[in-house]
Structure 1
Amino acid sequence: MVYRFVGYLAAERPVGNASEINVALESDTKLLEEVVVVGYGTQERRDITGSVASVKSDEIQNIPVAGLDQAIQGRIAGVNVTSSSGTPGGGISVRVRGTSSISAGNDPLYVVDGVPVSNSDISQGGFGNQQINPLAEINPNDIESIEVLKDASSAAIYGSRASNGVVLITTKKGKAGKTQVDIDAYAGVQDFTKEVDFLNATEYTSIVNEARQNYMNDTGKTIGLLGAPAYNTNWIDEVTRSTASISNLQVSVRGGDEKTKFYISGAQFKQEGIILNNEYERKNLRLNLDHAVSSKIKIGTNLGVSRSTNNRIIGDNNIFAPWPNALQSRPDQPAFNEDGSYFATQRNNPVQGALEPEYETTIFRVFGNVYGNYEILPGLNYRLSAGGDWYNNKEFQYEPITSGQGFGTKGYGLAGNGTASNYLIENTFDYAKSFGDLNMTALVGYTFQEFVTERQYVEGTDFPSSSFRYITSAAKIPSGTSNWTSSALESYLGRVNLDYADKYLLSLAIRRDGSSKFSEDNKYGTFPSVSVGWRLSQESFMQDLSFLSDLKLRASYGITGNQEGIGDYAAMALINGGQNYNDQSGIAPSQLPNPNLKWEQTKQSNVGLDFGFLGNRISASADYFIKKTDDLLLSRPLPRTSGYTSITENIGSLENKGFEFAVSTKNLTGAFKWTTDFNIAFIDNKVTKLNNDEPFDRGFVNRVAVGQPIGAFYLLEQEGVYQSNDEVPEKLFAKGVRAGDVKFRDINGDGDITTGADRTFVGSAVPDYFGGITNNFSYKGFDLSVFFQYSVGNEVYAMWKELDGAGNLGAGANNNAIAKDEADDRWTGAGTSNSVPRAVYGAAGSFNAQRSSRFLEDGSYLRLKTLNFGYTLPSSVVDRVGLRKVRLYATGQNLFTFTEYSGFDPEVSSNAQDAVTAANDQATLPQLRSFTLGVNIGF
């Protein structure tokens, strides 16, 4: 008799006269093989010939973060996620296999349940460089899996938008069986991961007087000294909460039968910012429904709705921002006068800057699709899907006359509204057929997607009092505007996967995109790919290697594109209205046409190896890739005599090449279980071509140049500190430079130091390698997960030090706070310091504070990112009260960071979305440490 059961290998046993037969079936590893989501379908993990990485729901569930991109940080080889700020709902940088563009966007394409969604911030108010993260509107606890398509063969099916990789997000679906209700909740507190010491009022007064005394000694001039301080203010304590709360509550219902399956969830997430008056709240609803109308027709929907309210603060790189001002305000000045009013500090009062203005952004978002699937013939299916992403951003700002921001305008208000939407229609046919040892799957399709962005805002000034905050009360309307833009993308796509004898694998894919952003001659682009795989472990000559469970060699090549970061009409000649004169309307040319404009094009080669040992107790993958991007979309400056400032052209090339390695091990498999997941990536990034190979600067400290990586720091290079006046060159001595001042490298050898002639490349924001390691332990009902994330070899420019008194130790110290580490290490005489200069007022202090490698620091770090400890009550206990499961857990996030960086957080960046100016710490709000307690209850 033959015994069979789904998921197991069949077994044949003779019956004879036996009255009882015991049969143990072995698992069919082929049938139980992991299925991963790929573009427009699914595929078994073992048959993948490209480079695809996955994160499952159990790895990110109940992690106290606002967005899914934060949840995958450090978990996928070659995917570098940077949380650039600790602001709730703030912007995130995601780079898949390096930076592929200078100006056209570097974020991957995000596809949620088959719908490419918007990832752009359409805010219109000014908040420094800190942006909103639109992906924070997606509830991480609704996610079933995240797949990242890293190489061109896996991503080319998305064609013109796939150069930066593709992130496929699949939300949870219903399951046939008894309806299950789950309640997931956690609550906790957040605080700083690290404190930076600043001089107190007495220490501050002492060093300022030392700086002024050195100035008088240098010049023979007299300058007043500060008296004993009357106040001692810790501005960081004044402008922040001691702890900030964070909480999440989700209720989900999941179930169905063989015909209809459903998943419904509702959630509320709240997070206070550490800065006063800063908080974020998001509410989510989701409905996923699948129904079999008949054996041939299936229909369904995936629908997500969210509404968030973000009480924002101005971020870094703004003179009114409360956090930078707190880091730079004098400790000998109070926050309040004796009558309770705000003290007029020499900088804008940080407490006043946090509490008085009102900045509220409300986002309402709906995204999802409906689909129908019809089985035309056995193995041949037609699928029609219609979906979209509608994202509304409503802004309200008010700055009273008493605030620094509103003082000059007698109050300032802004009311804005922006909508970004896209609509998608997809028609696909898929076919699967076996011809003996040859298995084939094929896909062809046609898609059309339209993108529309609409914005309006109006500003008002001169309000009667702070009790009247809406624009209708403003006496003056200095500006208001509205605009509407649209673009469309038409696509034809196809893919064929072949598997012969479970040994030889071939995948061919192609997509042809037509974009309205380009002229007729360049409207369409073709993006092909090919990949092959050889499963050596199935060859007869490998069968004697009993320790080998799997061995597969992969190779791929493909072309992908990028059209992000440019305007919807970038190739066209434009004429703008609003060019008014003497109360008469007018129009004027605003943009030159460029009919030759086309996509950036990335050609990527990949060679990979997947292997497993000892029944896959050890499984690993290794990849080497070369990724070359040509025809970069850049804005070329034009002479002012042309009447235009710039034109967008295809200029330059970039290259990323590197190595990725990921390994998973089942170290212990008994009652006590221990598994480990480790990944690491090495990526070398450099610019290979520019317009006439001429370098250009962007931001304050970065330069783009051939042969250098993106984000290269171009600065004066500090060689030490002059230990005596005899060491100071004559030209510098004449400028007031003396012993104790910074010694810069004289690049052109003229005995002088100038930023025009003596800057050089001194470092980069690109890490040498990065990754993460997770250890999971379980014993009976207890479980423990320990996750570390790391980045090594990247530099951070500590601009906050340049801007505060530590930059010059006295040159402007009457306006700034001073970091204690700089003050303690300062030069006070020959041999005392060769890194931090003396305290000095005036020209010498300004010389010391020039932008240089003095403020460039090693940004390498190792971070205990997540520690989760839980206990699941025994079923014998929960069954008595009618429950399915109860798990209690405690989670720590960002618990410890091991780094040499002197600032609050080595991961911060004042503008993470700009690849060139990343890793500039302009007093950016750091990430926070959190401690949460949670419970999962299942009915």
Structure 2
Amino acid sequence: MRKVIFLSLVMLLSLVSQVWAQSQTISGVVSDAGNGQPLPGVNVVVKGTSIGTFTGANGEFTVDVPEGSETLVFSYLGYVNQDVNIAGKTSVNVALKEDSKALSEVVVIGYGTQEKRDITGSVASVKSEEIENLPVAGLDQAIQGRIAGVNVTSSSGTPGGGISVRVRGTSSISAGNSPLYVVDGVPVSNTDISQGGFGNQEINPLSEINPNDIESIEVLKDASSAAIYGSRGSNGVVLITTKKGKAGKTQVDIDAYSGVQSFTKKVDFLNSNEYVDVVNEARQNYMNDNPGNTVDLLGAPAVNTNWIDEITRNNAAISNLQVSVRGGNDKTRFYISGARFLQEGIILNNEYERKNLRLNLEHSISDKVEIGSNLGVSRSVNNRIIGDNSIFAPWPNALQSRPDQPAYNEDGTYFATQRNNPVQGALEPQYETTIFRVFGNVFGSYEIIPGLKYRLSAGGDWYNNKEFQYEPITSGQGFGTKGYGLAGNGVASNYLVENTIDYSKSFGELNLSALAGYTYQEFVTERQNVQGTDFPSASFHYITSAAKILSGTSTWTSNALESYLGRVNLDYGDKYLLSLAIRRDGASKFSEDNKYGAFPSVSVGWRLSQEAFMQQFDFLSDLKLRASYGITGNQEGIGDYAAMALITGDRNYNDQSGIAPSQLPNPDLRWEQTKQTNVGLDLGLFNNRISLGADYFIKQTDDLLLSRPLPRTSGYTSITENIGSVENKGFEFAITTRNFDGAFRWSTDFNIAFINNEVTRLNNNEPFDRGFVNRVAVGQPVGAFYLLEQVGIYQTDEEVPAKLYARGVRAGDVMFRDVNGDGDITTGADRTFVGSAVPDYFGGITNNFAYKGFDLSVFFQYSVGNEIYAMWKELDAAGNLGARENNNAIARDEAENRWTAPGTSNTVPRAIYGAAGTYNTQRSSRYLEDGSYLRLKTLNLGYSLPGQLVDRVGLRKVRVYATGQNLLTFTKYSGFDPEVSSNAQDAVTAANDQATLPQLRSFTLGVNIGF
């Protein structure tokens, strides 16, 4: 027995020694050789294997090394790779040196990547760490204020609502002005296909993309960088790259935040007693102006209703939870994530919920063959409300409703207010939009010979929009029809096949890269809906219960795009750079004679810092001059068959089917064409501690796609033609400074853009109006405000011209500029240009601080010189001070600053009842306000737990943080929010505030946990 035990012990010891011999543990710390600071996220791999790990928050690592391994490889973006000998060692500390070439970053460009230092066009980049964990629904909101020349405006505070993005100004009048969005190489839809009416507020399709899945966002701003996308590049291109797998130890990350939202500002309205006093003053003034005419005065109010409080939540919830898994080896890399985002609207019954799944996979079959896929799936449910510009919308009605009227009757039923009861309008209707979206691609590449690679990609974007609307008989919209219902379904899909071949080779000091490709993309849009009325009761919601079917429609349209593309990049001696690109697009929207168009570009760069005569300037890290010219196109905003003669089949009469012509052909129709010149400079000082990018551009868009009105006698209302030109020109500056690099770190990013927008040509140079207050005219910005101009208040009756006095104008009424000098004021003859929605300049500034485990980010965003038309005052009577018989709510600033006697006010007129008061409420510069603002957009404070503590519990990282969004806004605008628009997607009528729901302030607490 002893012998057996002895032999067993020998075998056990032998086994243990073999195991120990087969592997050993190496640990250590990786730091920056320049400042000694630890580097988290460094890739540590046993050379020749896929075994490895990443450093923790404080630079620590631990890795099990197989027997016989002698070298660890340390690699990190922006640093020189380092091989470290570990023979006979159990710990090593490594200091990595910065790689000046790698520090320039690798950025995504059209159909490839390029080192940022070699870019000759104008390309801006936003990385994941700048936008992750922001409490926003869409990626376009996340980049607001972070890129010079890219103006992002939230049209409202509605969850999942529309966003306006303008790259280097407004380039079109009727066609689209939004950039082209490309996700992992697939151009995706950015068009709302909803069929129900919600005022002018749209759904933002980009909200279906989870911002936390994004690795980087590149914006191609000039024609040189965007020309590779040809007929869709005039408004810029936004390239979105999602996160990919990495070789090494599998990482699991949990990211979560939760918080509340509230108003950034509340407009103060008069309470019931104050309201009655002003209305009675208005009626008394009327009787003073019209002796012998009497009107009843209001009695003491019985209630005091704050309608805004009645329809809003005290604190609307917002939350996000994401779990992601990332890893792989030298053969296969993967990234998987799942997320849920929830945002309550500030209005009751308004909520947006989105769920996302993502799978990105790459596999190397051999050294020459690689395959992969990028797949994103989302499902969102949007419980919507009617927005602005609708008599049934709860928010505008809350701003209009009188405070001396109650929300409910004594029996608990809704009080019949003069407007549609706002509470009833928020709670009674049901508006649900469900979106299911799948987008992505599968791809394969084959290296034919060294440097020559072929790539095939097939993908698409399938976007299903299902709508349900129900207005019970008890609601304002459903009352007259005994209930109203709509059931709709829309599908927007596109399918893409791309074949590209690229070649890279060095010939001594000459580096060459070339790309050629063929792509085909097809777009299909389908819509169906049915509407019904006369429901048996409020308990029946679906169309099958409707006694009357109002209408049933279905439509199907498609268009296709065939493209050939090519690009050559040359770099000689790391000094002289040249890029040539061309794309030839063929679009089915146009006739055979105009189906194809070519979009070329050229750009050059000269890196002066590499010249021998510049080496004496030790402080100069980099100096590069850039220049580019190119042509891009735009085919958005017109119908799929805009060039063709169309016949419609919906001309039915007396239960007999019929057809009729509906559209004139225009075989000469073609793309809008934008020619853009860009001159830029990239400067780095003091080992790139200060970096500057500066650009000047001129962007001329010709052959605008406009709908020209036709005489009704022609049988048609309009025809789409190429008419007019628009010019944008300006300067952009982006500055990054690393102010402190020691134990305390502080960096600053600042950007600013100055853009001048001007219409340079129209059909016969004749101006035209659109909307209520905007005009398009040569020499003016797109959509300039064209209004009567207020120049003061008449202080005495003697100042009033005779013609106006005869019309009832008296002291205390508005003094308008008499443009034609006839002694009278008429909207036809006395309107003039008084302002524009285009800012003089805009941008943002971010300061990032870090000390030990603490980090702080402070981001301000600003816009200066733009005007807003406060239509909520003019239309909703909040500023007309008793002009209407049943006056609505009155804003306190208007009431307190009103004229009551000579010398009391020269800006706000007197309170006046009846028709005489409508003179003061004419659409004029009285309601045009300065929309400039400076906003503390984001404040983020975080703390990362020490690595030793995190390692003890088996985690990779733990960071807790607090974020404030839209915390402070400095503005002169009297409304709720200076950053709103009742129709942000319309370039002409933007910056009209028709009681638009404002953006909200949010406070969130979050945690990032890594395993």
| TM-score normalised per structure 1 | 0.98
Whether contact under 8 Å (1:873, 1:886) holds in the other structure is: yes
Q: For residues 476 and 26 of structure 1, do their structure 2 counterparts lie closer, same or farther at Cα, with a shift above 3 Å needed?
A: closer
What one-letter code is carried by the residue in structure 2 that aligns with 1:351? V
Instruction: Please give the alpha-carbon distance, in whole angstroms, between the structure 2 residues aligned to 1:137 and 1:25.
Output: 40
Aligned twin of 2:240: 169
Shift of 1:578: 1.2
CA contact (8 A) 1:208 1:814 kept: no
2:273 maps to which of 202, 210, 214: 202
The question of 1:793 aligning with 2:865 is answered yes
Contact kept, 8 Å, 2:399 with 2:878, in 1: the verdict is: no
Q: Please state how far the C-alpha of 1:27 moved relative to its aligned partner.
A: 3.8
Q: 2:887 aligns with which of 803, 806, 815?
A: 815
Does the Cα contact within 8 Å between 1:417 and 1:456 map onto a contact in 2?
Answer: yes
1:46-65 equivalences in 2 (<5 Å): 46-65=117-136
Counterpart in 1 of 2:196? 125
CA contact (8 A) 1:789 1:862 kept: yes
1:479-524 deviation line (CA, Å, top 9, x unaligned): 1100000000000000000000000000000000000000000000
Among candidates 688, 706, 724, match of residue 652 of structure 1 = 724
Give 2:796's aligned residue.
Answer: 724
Mapped to 1, the partners of 2:770 and 2:254 lie a distance apart of 49
2:714 equivalent to 1:642: yes
2-side partners of 1:26 and 1:922: how far apart? 57
Tell me, yes or no, if structure 1 residue 937 matches structure 2 residue 1009: yes
* Change over 3 Å in CA distance of 1:876–1:332 after alignment to 2: same
Q: CA offsets, 1:520-546, max 9 Å, x none?
A: 000000000000000000000000000
Instruction: Decide whether the 8 Å contact of 1:804 with 1:818 is kept in 2.
Output: no
Q: Which amino acid in the other structure matches residue 695 of structure 1?
A: P
Q: CA deviation at 1:814?
A: 2.5
- Residue from 604, 617, 620 that aligns with 1:532: 604
Taking the aligned partners of 2:531 and 2:99, their CA distance within structure 1 comes to 67
CA distance, structure 2, for counterparts of residue 430 and residue 49 of structure 1: 19
3-state DSSP of counterpart to 1:673: strand
Which residue of 1 is the match for residue 411 of structure 2?
Answer: 339
Distance, in Å, in 1 between the alignment partners of 2:584 and 2:96 is: 48
Q: Does 1:90 align with 2:182?
A: no
The structural deviation recorded for 1:9 is 6.9
Is the 2:164–2:984 contact (alpha carbons within 8 Å) kept by the matching residues of 1? yes
Instruction: Quote the residue 1:433 is aligned against.
Output: 505
Instruction: Give the Cα–Cα distance (whole angstroms) in 2 for the partners of residues 882 and 9 of structure 1.
Output: 30
Distance across 2 between alignment mates of 1:752 and 1:803: 24
Report if aligned partners of 1:153, 1:530 keep a CA contact under 8 Å in 2. yes
- SS of the equivalent of 1:343 reads coil
Q: Distance between the aligned counterparts of 1:9 and 1:338, measured in 2?
A: 77
Q: Equivalents in 2 of 1:214, 1:921: separation in Å? A: 30
Q: Per-residue displacement from partner, 1:320-369 (whole Å, max 9, x unpaired)?
A: 00000000000000000000000000000000000000000000000000
Q: TM-score, normalised by structure 2?
A: 0.91
User: Are the counterparts in 2 of residues 79 and 96 from structure 1 also a CA contact under 8 Å?
Assistant: yes
- What's 1:848 paired with? 920
Aligned match of 2:21: none
Q: Give the Cα–Cα distance (whole angstroms) in 1 for the partners of residues 73 and 471 of structure 2.
A: 73
Distance, in Å, in 2 between the alignment partners of 1:227 and 1:234 is 19
Aligned to 2:296: 224
Decide whether aligned partners of structure 1 residues 636 and 6 sit closer, same or farther in structure 2, where only a CA change above 3 A counts. Answer: same
> Could you tell me which residue of structure 2 aligns to residue 19 of structure 1?
none
**Which ranges of structure 1 fall in alignment gaps of 5 or more residues?**
13-21
Distance 1:487 1:350 in 2: 43
Structure 2 counterpart of 1:148, which letter? Answer: V
1:116 alignment counterpart: 187
- Tell me if structure 2 keeps the 8 A contact 1:267–1:283: yes
Counterpart AA for 1:491: S
Which letter does structure 2 place at the counterpart of 1:278?
N
Q: In angstroms, what is the RMSD of aligned CA positions?
A: 1.4
Shift in alpha-carbon separation, 1:338–1:550, aligned structure 2, 3 A:
same
Aligned to 1:255: 327
Alignment match of 2:951 (pick from 875, 879, 890): 879
The one-character-per-residue Cα deviations of 1:734-779 (angstroms, maximum 9, x if unpaired) are 1110000000000111111100000000000000000000000000
Q: Matched residues in 2 for 1:374 and 1:386: separation?
A: 15
- CA distance 1:837–1:446, shift in 2 (3 Å): same
User: Residue in 2 aligned with 1:18?
Assistant: none
Matched, 1:77 2:148: yes
Q: Which amino acid aligns with 1:47?
A: D
Change in CA separation of 1:793 and 1:733 when aligned onto 2, cut-off 3 Å: same
1:254-293 paired onto structure 2 within 5 Å: 254-293=326-365
Aligned partners of 1:843 and 1:581: how far apart in 2? 44
- The superposition leaves residues 430-489 of structure 1 with CA deviations (integer Å, 9 ceiling, x where unpaired) of 000000000000000000000000000000000000110000000000111000000000
Checking the alignment, whether the CA contact within 8 Å between 2:396 and 2:876 is kept in structure 1 is no
Q: How many pairs are equivalent?
A: 929
Change (3 A) 1:739 1:33: closer
SS at match of 1:590: strand
When Rg is computed on C-alpha atoms for both structures, the one with the higher figure is 2
Q: Of residues 156, 159, 177 in structure 1, which corresponds to 2:227?
A: 156
Residue aligning to 2:630: 558
Partners of 2:480 and 2:710 in 1: how far apart? 35
Deviation at 1:10, TM superposition (A): 10
Q: Does 1:614 align with 2:681?
A: no
CA contact (8 A) 1:741 1:844 kept: no
> Is 1:188 the counterpart of 2:229 in the alignment?
no
Q: What is the distance in 2 between the residues matched to 1:279 and 1:794? A: 31
Alignment match, 1:16: none
Larger CA deviation: 798-807 vs 737-746: 798-807
CA contact (8 A) 2:885 2:914 kept: no
Question: What is the deviation of 1:803?
Answer: 1.9
Matched, 1:213 2:284: yes
Matching residue of 2:139: 68
Q: What are the superposed Cα offsets for residues 866-897 of structure 1, whole Å, 9 maximum, x if unpaired?
A: 00000000011111111100000000000000
Mapping of residues 372-383 of structure 1, within 5 Å: 372-383=444-455
Pair 1:234-2:306 in alignment: yes
Note if contact 1:493-1:511 (Cα within 8 Å) is conserved in structure 2.
Answer: yes
Kept in 2, the 8 Å contact 1:115–1:424? The answer is yes
- Aligned to 2:918, the other structure's residue is in SS state helix
What does the per-residue CA deviation read over 1:650-689, in whole Å, with 9 as the maximum and x for residues that have no partner? 0000000000000000000010000000000000000000
Instruction: Check whether the contact 1:69–1:92 (CA below 8 A) recurs between aligned residues.
Output: yes
Structure 1 residue 807 displacement after superposition: 3.0
> Take 2:876 and 2:886, find their aligned partners in 1: how far apart are those partners?
10
Is 1:909 matched with 2:909? no
Q: Do 1:498 and 1:506's aligned partners in 2 also have CA atoms closer than 8 Å?
A: yes
Alpha-carbon distance in structure 1 between the residues aligned to 2:158 and 2:887: 26
Secondary structure at the aligned position of 1:409 is classed as coil
- For 1:833 and 1:805, the matched residues in 2 are separated by 19
* Structure 1 residues 585-734: aligned runs within 5 Å: 585-734=657-806
1:3-82 aligned at under 5 Å gives the runs 26-82=97-153
How far apart, in 2, do the equivalents of 1:705 and 1:622 lie? 31
1:25 CA drift (Å): 7.6
Q: What residue number does 2:60 align with?
A: none
Aligned to 1:486: 558
Contact 1:771 1:790 in 2 (8 A): yes
What one-letter code is carried by the residue in structure 1 that aligns with 2:341? F
Instruction: Verify: 1:462 aligned to 2:529, yes or no.
Output: no
Mark the runs of 5 or more structure 2 residues left unpaired by the alignment.
Answer: 1-71, 84-92
Match for residue 377 of structure 2? 305
The alpha carbon displacement at 1:780 in A equals 0.3
Percent identity (aligned): 84
Shift of 1:33: 3.5
Q: Is contact 2:75–2:81 with CA below 8 Å preserved after alignment?
A: no
Q: Which amino acid aligns with 2:609?
A: S
1:566-602 deviation line (CA, Å, top 9, x unaligned)? 0000000000001111111000000000000000000
Does the CA contact (< 8 Å) of 1:281 and 1:308 recur in 2? yes
